[in-house]
């Protein structure tokens, strides 16, 4: 790729976060390999001290040669600044516990490992002091166990744990990770355990020799740091300066974060509205996931915001026309889902204007849920409005009439309601006894789907009034009805058995719409509409009575409006565009085979 012109640089800038992630992963893997081989070498202590020292020669050949030196220290020179950068760019310090542990351990490692690195490598390269296993074991495990020894043990475990968590977070979004996870866990536990046992065995051999053979000990002290007290003092000075510099750099990162916060607040804010009506105002430049984290709204994000898991995905209900285009990483992550353009990754979406979003995965989603939701061969996710309409007093209708009359009246009812639904742009989908379910939005956007559903309710009232007038002589009393409307993400697919299969929708939104229809009896009204329908449709329903119910699986109560007469929607719908072209709409059941 050539970087001719601003387009090339712009493309590179858009891929920047992805490049940073790969650099961090690559450099981390190099250092993890170093730690792993270090542990393998320690394990040789289970054989003998000599075996450890023979193995150390191979390690030195690998890591002290020109290639090994560049690779190892290059990795360190990349990984540490990128860790500072990650801390700076992270907009919220709210995170999952595992990410928090990784971050904390990662920043502890340089502090704890510094002296060991100076003694083992810097002293060798700069002062020519060659330290071998017996020097280190004597110093750490025999002479200074409670100070230097325990510190070394801590860094030993912290570095390993930090690396293992990093690898876990990297691999856990992979499709077959759960199959290999038990084996990886065994390796993660076994390697440091065997290494620690090897180090203890080596240390005990050194201790035995030191106590039983004074000549051996005197001879050992002719080499290593015992023979260079001046170098020890110099290394202390270097360590103190390095610790100070490291702490200063950390403080600078937090100062930079605070300064950025001030600048961002001056640059304006945007409002992110959630399905339960909560609105979170955040500075421009923050992602939707940042907004959720800041407001403490549970939001699935298995990969921690790296555009690798798609569990944070949301459907943008309002404001999609103002959104910045997706980055290459976002496009790549969403492509397998076959999602439409209103579906975006919350961790990658930085809104520049107010938006309304609908998180598509439950907050506690796992990678397995992800697979389940991605099963496009069995259906597709889609945001739709669901309408349930049910005839009132049907029992009396059946009891007082002949079967022929009942079927005739019910068919007239279905005709009146169904034609209203089709005229509004929806699709009658299921006829259940004396009621019917309709779907809106299989071929249109969420806002229009919700407007269509409201318009359908108004038309049903009108059509049924007409029907009641025309059947006035047949009916003892006019046919009444109740309607429930809700909107949400459902799975649309062909379901059923052989030639009886038909396209339908399943999901929580369907159950809720049905429940809202039941509530029309309790509230003694024609129509109950969830708040999300009005919000998505851009229709103001504030004049109607507001209620709340607790729905299992939802973190907040569901708000809804009870509307005595669906005809009263005429005012709110006036001026709001609604699809009423019957020819453009093919009933969903007609496309099901
Ligand atoms: S959190 Fe994983 S893709 Fe957004």
Tens-place pLDDT, residues 284-307:
888 999 999 888 888 888 888 888
Q: What is the pLDDT of residue 585?
A: 32
Closest CA to 541 of 514, 513, 576, 515: 576
Tens-place pLDDT, residues 475-502:
778 889 999 999 988 887 766 665 566 6
Characterize 93-116 residue by residue with b for buried, 16 or more Cβ atoms within 10 angstroms of its Cβ, and e for exposed.
Answer: eebeeebeebbebbbebbbbbbbb
Alpha-carbon span 463 to 428, nearest angstrom: 15
Higher pLDDT, 84 or 397: 84
Which residues contact residue 504 at a Cβ distance below 8 angstroms, ignoring those fewer than 6 apart? 429, 430, 439, 492, 493, 494, 495, 588, 592
Tens-place pLDDT, residues 338-353:
666 778 999 999 998 9
Neighbours of 124 (CB within 10 A): 15
Characterize 565-579 residue by residue with b for buried, 16 or more Cβ atoms within 10 angstroms of its Cβ, and e for exposed.
Answer: ebbbbeebbeeeebb
Phi and psi at residue 542, to the nearest 5°: -65, -20
State whether the beta carbon of 345 lies less than 6 angstroms from ligand 1.
yes
Alpha-carbon span 378 to 110, nearest angstrom: 50
Alpha-carbon span 395 to 335, nearest angstrom: 50
Mutation to probe ligand 1, out of 91, 96, 98, 307 (largest number of atoms < 8 A from CB) = 307
Q: Which atom of ligand 1 is nearest to the CA of 347?
A: 4
188 Cα: distance to centroid of ligand 1 (angstroms):
26
> Mean pLDDT score of the chain, rounded to an integer?
84
Atom 3, ligand 1: residue with shortest CA distance: 307
Answer yes or no: is pLDDT of 276 > 90.
no
Ranges assigned E (strand) in 149-252: none
State whether the beta carbon of 173 lies less than 6 angstroms from ligand 1.
no
């Amino acid at each position: 790729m050539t970087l001719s012109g601003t387009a090339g640089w712009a493309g590179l800038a858009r891929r920047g976060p992805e490049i940073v992630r790969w650099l961090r992963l690559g450099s981390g893997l190099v250092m993890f390999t170093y730690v792993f081989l270090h542990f393998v070498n320690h394990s040789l202590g289970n054989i003998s001290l000599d075996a450890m020292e023979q193995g150390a020669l191979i390690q030195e050949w690998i890591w002290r040669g020109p290639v090994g030196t560049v690779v190892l220290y290059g990795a360190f020179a990349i990984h540490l600044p990128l860790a500072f950068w990650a801390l700076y760019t992270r907009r919220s310090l709210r995170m999952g516990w595992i990410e928090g542990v990784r971050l904390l351990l990662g920043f502890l490692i340089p502090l704890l490992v510094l002296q060991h690195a100076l003694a083992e490598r810097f002293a060798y390269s700069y002062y020519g002091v060659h330290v071998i296993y017996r020097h280190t074991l004597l110093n750490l495990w025999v002479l200074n166990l409670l100070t230097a020894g325990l510190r070394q043990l801590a860094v030993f475990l912290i570095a390993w744990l930090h690396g293992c968590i990093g690898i876990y977070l990297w691999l856990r979004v992979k499709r077959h990770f759960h199959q290999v996870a038990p084996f990886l866990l065994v390796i993660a536990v076994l390697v440091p355990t065997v290494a620690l046992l090897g180090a203890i065995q080596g240390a005990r051999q050194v201790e035995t020799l030191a106590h039983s053979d004074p000549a051996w000990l005197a001879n050992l002290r002719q080499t290593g740091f015992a023979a260079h007290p001046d170098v020890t003092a110099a290394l202390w000075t270097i360590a103190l300066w390095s610790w100070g510099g490291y702490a200063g750099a950390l403080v600078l990162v937090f100062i930079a974060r605070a300064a950025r916060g001030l600048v961002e607040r001056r640059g304006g804010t945007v409002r992110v509205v959630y399905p339960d009506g909560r609105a979170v105002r955040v500075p421009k430049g923050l992602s939707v996931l940042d907004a959720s984290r800041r407001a403490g709204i549970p939001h699935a994000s298995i990969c921690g915001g790296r555009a690798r898991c798609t569990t944070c995905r949301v459907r943008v209900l309002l404001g999609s026309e103002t959104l910045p285009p997706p980055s290459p990483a976002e496009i790549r992550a969403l492509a397998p889902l076959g999602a439409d353009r209103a579906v975006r990754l919350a961790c990658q979406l930085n809104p520049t204007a107010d938006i309304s979003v609908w998180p598509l995965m439950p907050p506690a989603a796992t990678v397995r849920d992800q697979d389940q939701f991605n099963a496009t061969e069995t259906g597709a996710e889609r945001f739709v409005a669901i309408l349930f309409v049910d005839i009132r007093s049907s029992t009396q209708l059946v009891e007082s009439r002949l079967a022929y009359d009942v079927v005739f009246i019910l068919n007239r009812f279905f005709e009146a309601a169904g034609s209203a639904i089709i005229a509004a742009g929806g699709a009658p989908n299921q006829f259940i006894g004396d009621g019917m379910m309709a779907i809106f939005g299989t071929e249109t956007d969420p806002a229009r789907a919700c407007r269509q559903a409201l318009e359908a309710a108004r038309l049903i009232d009108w059509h049924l009034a007409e029907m009641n007038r025309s059947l006035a002589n047949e009916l003892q009393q006019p046919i009444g009805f109740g309607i429930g409307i809700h909107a949400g993400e459902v799975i649309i697919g062909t379901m059923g058995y052989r030639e009886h299969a038909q396209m339908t929708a399943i999901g929580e939104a369907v159950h809720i719409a049905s429940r809202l229809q039941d509530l029309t009896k309790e509230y003694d009204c024609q129509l109950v509409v969830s708040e999300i329908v009005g919000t998505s449709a851009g229709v103001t329903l504030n004049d109607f009575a507001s209620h709340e119910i607790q729905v299992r699986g939802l973190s907040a109560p569901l708000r809804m409006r009870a509307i005595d007469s669906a005809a009263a929607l005429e005012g709110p719908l006036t001026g709001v565009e609604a699809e009423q072209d019957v020819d453009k709409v093919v009933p969903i059941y007609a496309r099901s085979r």
